Structure 1
Amino acid sequence: MSGPLAGVRVLDLSSVVVGPVCTGVLAEHGAEVIKLESPPEGDLLRRLGGLGRTPGMSGKFLNFNRGKRSLCLDLKHPRGAAVLRRLAATADVFVTNVRPEAQRRLGVDAETLAAAAPRLIHCAIVGFGTKGPYAGRPAYDTVIQGVSGVAACFEASTGAPRYVPMLIADHTVGLIAAQLIGFALYRRERTGRGEAIEVPMFENMAAYVLMEHLGAMSFRPAIGPFGDHRVLSPEARPLPTADGHICLSANTDAQAHAFFEAIGRPELKTDPRFATVAARTANTGEYFALRAEALKGRTTAEWLEIFDRLDVPAMPYNTIESLLTDPHLRAVGLVREEEHPTEGPTFAIGAPNRLSGGEAPPGRPAPRLGADGAAVLREAGIAEEEIAALREAGALLDEAA
């Protein structure tokens, strides 16, 4: 069985997180992804991603670059740039998070590559859309979280702005980019033409914040304040039990009324503050505080058994460490142990989604820098003499260099 993108070749000139998330999804579903890296050190995440057993192979890099092949090519060298244009003619998709001006300098912008490969899907992930005044500015996840209002959501909730302690903008926008590439490939099947896609991080994350929190200010004039106070409530968090925490949400009337029965407070079903969805929404602070106080008298396991019987949505609270042993994640194959060919025993993160028409087999482990360079070039029809000349000129870094 092969994934839905089997036969699709992707040139991946992206680094760190947002681009590798995008191309990782494509690889996960069967695409051949050739990761273009720059000598001498390749993707910054090889070093920025923390500890590794060997230099340039951080644990974070391993997770974001499974299923890919590494070609380490100096695009600033004329020979390297010429090879890239030849590779583009063999590819279906080109992904980059290089800034627009740098794309033009390197000759990897959509217009230049379309001249050599008119069927190419060119996807540029940028910090800010090129039609606005912020165009071309550098951007990392935390910069985008701050400018898009994500950090301000914490200020509205807790009184102090802060970032989500994971790269939420990179992950979100990377997934959006993969989705748009799928749309473009589908349109190319009907039209035969390639496409240029621009995926701006700022606009996407600002849209998320506004859709979530514009609320009553959607109306002109505004009929209430900005923000969904249920989501912004400081009480919107895992609830303490006698021996830990539990994650619970009771939104419908049936769920809330079952919850009141479970905690021994059936009279709350007719309390005007809590009897209906509208009443609980208007009294979110009291409702959430009541929930937090009510669960301290029993253990997490006891509450889970009760809530499961009453069909109240509730699950145990996982730490990062306990995710590795979560029985559901092990059963569906999301977390598994495997032997990396150079890094030894590792935890591997599998595909979280399933397609009934067939899945791609487990992807190859993340590559060492330049590990596949010569093989990729040979497959593109580049002669051994030219590959050797690229090495000699310093335009190609591979394991034979």
Structure 2
Amino acid sequence: MHQPMAGIRMVEVAQFTFTPAAGGILAEWGADVIKVEHAVAGDAQRGMVNHPKDGTFQPIMDHPNRGKRSIGLDLATPAGYDVLLELCRDADIFLTNFLPAARRRLRLDVDDIRKANPDIIFVRGSAHGQRGPWAEKGGYDGSAFWCRMGSAWGVTPPESPRVVSMPAGAYGDSMGAMTIAGGIAAALYGRATTGQPSVVDVSLMSVGAWAFGLDLGNAALTGAAKEPVPLNQTMMNVALNPTVGHFRTSDGRWINFTMPQAFRYFPDVCRHLGLDHLVTDERFDTAQKLMANSAEAGRYIADAIAEKPYAHWIDHLQTMEGPWAPVQGPLDILDDPQMHANGYLSTFPDSEGKERSLVANPVQFDNLPPDTRRAPQFAEHTDDLLRELGHTDEQIIQMKIDGAVT
């Protein structure tokens, strides 16, 4: 299969998910991604015992680190740091999410890395960006992406006793990683056409603001979003559009309709719901009347869907013209035939030969899904990488004795 990043090498000094997952994406696109881990502790995420694990397979590590090679280095030692610079000399990209203080202490800033390779593309993932009073502070997607940038505000009803949390782990991290990967691709193109290597920055705040960008633009224009408004009032309320909303089935599940062009789709919706008589009803027979009586029309739709179970509607609505969706949980998604038809779920062997599954990165080339491979075990490729750099076995043993490598 075509892998557009084949021949590209990335050196990654990063932990957790937001930034490392960008390396995982590039690995699926064909790049050789070398994950530099602490010589003793490895990536701090390896120790998160509150996540499921089976043998060597742990989704919290395999999701962001698929397809990479791992080397254990103590960057605080001269020998360990020298190996890092050796790796960077032939690399195209250096990727890090270390905080500024750690970058300064370990000599991982732009000027430090470019002493080894002036042409390397330098990429930073951060919580709050590189400037301003919060530039030195760390953060996670639950804080900088979700809460600070409006998503939590947007999904939490004013009367709620708690703030609604992200719907899934690493939710903002995974979207942010895709953004980093896109920035890297653009930087590689820019270097190829101009000869100039870029410094690429993506923060959880910038990704969160982009995700919330339409409402931020509207608020900047009108000042109308200064006070809390009801949950999704402008998008998911049949009082405004009878064919936009969440409708409960007889067994307590949900079906979503998202048909902004209500009058176009209303007749077909009615026929699918056994409401044929409403198509010619004088209350709904023009677009203006349908909007004026949208709450009433929405009640008809809600009552009809409430009469039958979720499974009935999943089957029965397949021929409906307007956009709709089942409200699905993780097990539903894993069984979704559309996921499998498009190769959105990858299956691969782990280090013990067991078949595992992960979501593939969302970009496909030439109509083929990516080739997903497992994440490396901690420092799994240290010896191979050191040999590739020209170190002898005796030198490798000595570096291990000195604690420079694992």
TM-score range, shorter chain: 0.7 to 0.9
1:153 aligns with 2:154: yes
1:250 aligns with 2:263: no
Contact 2:346 2:372 (C-alpha < 8 Å) held by counterparts = no
Deviation at 1:332, TM superposition (A): 3.0
How many residues in Structure 1 have an aligned counterpart in Structure 2? 393
**2: CA distance between counterparts of 1:84 and 1:336?**
32
**1: CA distance between counterparts of 2:134 and 2:280?**
52
1:25-62, CA deviations, whole angstroms, 9 ceiling, x for partnerless residues?
A: 1111111111111122211222226132347x523212
Counterpart mapping for 1:181-330 below 5 A: 181-209=184-212, 211-214=213-216, 216-219=218-221, 229-231=233-235, 238-243=246-251, 244-252=253-261, 253-263=263-273, 264=275, 267=278, 276=287, 280=291, 291-330=301-340
**1: CA distance between counterparts of 2:271 and 2:153?**
37
State the one-letter code of the partner of 1:354: Q
**2: CA distance between counterparts of 1:161 and 1:201?**
19
State the one-letter code of the partner of 2:21: V
Q: What residue is the counterpart of 1:32 in the other structure?
A: 32
Cα 1:369–1:223 shift into 2, 3 Å: closer
User: After alignment, is 88-97 or 142-151 more displaced?
Assistant: 142-151
**2: CA distance between counterparts of 1:277 and 1:182?**
48
TM score, norm. by length of structure 1: 0.86
RMSD in angstroms over aligned alpha carbons? 3.2
Contact 2:348 2:372 (C-alpha < 8 Å) held by counterparts = no
State the one-letter code of the partner of 1:344: K
State the one-letter code of the partner of 2:259: A
SS of the aligned residue for 1:396 comes to coil
Paired-residue identity, %: 25
Cα 1:88–1:248 shift into 2, 3 Å: same
Deviation at 1:373, TM superposition (A): 0.9
Contact 2:23 2:64 (C-alpha < 8 Å) held by counterparts = no
Deviation at 1:325, TM superposition (A): 2.6
Q: Which 5+ residue runs of structure 1 have no aligned equivalent?
A: none
Deviation at 1:357, TM superposition (A): 8.4
Counterpart mapping for 1:133-172 below 5 A: 133-144=133-144, 145-156=146-157, 159=160, 160-166=162-168, 167-172=170-175
TM score, norm. by length of structure 2: 0.85
Q: Which 5+ residue runs of structure 2 have no aligned equivalent?
A: none
Deviation at 1:226, TM superposition (A): 7.5
Cα 1:90–1:284 shift into 2, 3 Å: farther
**2: CA distance between counterparts of 1:75 and 1:348?**
31
Q: What residue is the counterpart of 1:372 in the other structure?
A: 381
Q: What residue is the counterpart of 2:71 in the other structure?
A: 71
User: After alignment, is 241-250 or 92-101 more displaced?
Assistant: 241-250
Deviation at 1:314, TM superposition (A): 2.5
**1: CA distance between counterparts of 2:298 and 2:15?**
42
**1: CA distance between counterparts of 2:39 and 2:285?**
62
1:53 aligns with 2:54: yes
Counterpart mapping for 1:79-90 below 5 A: 79-90=79-90
Cα 1:359–1:110 shift into 2, 3 Å: farther
1:394 aligns with 2:395: no
Cα 1:237–1:339 shift into 2, 3 Å: farther
**1: CA distance between counterparts of 2:201 and 2:300?**
47
SS of the aligned residue for 2:156 comes to helix
State the one-letter code of the partner of 1:149: G
Q: What residue is the counterpart of 2:341 in the other structure?
A: 331
Deviation at 1:98, TM superposition (A): 0.7
**1: CA distance between counterparts of 2:290 and 2:103?**
54
Contact 2:59 2:358 (C-alpha < 8 Å) held by counterparts = no
Contact 1:29 1:359 (C-alpha < 8 Å) held by counterparts = no
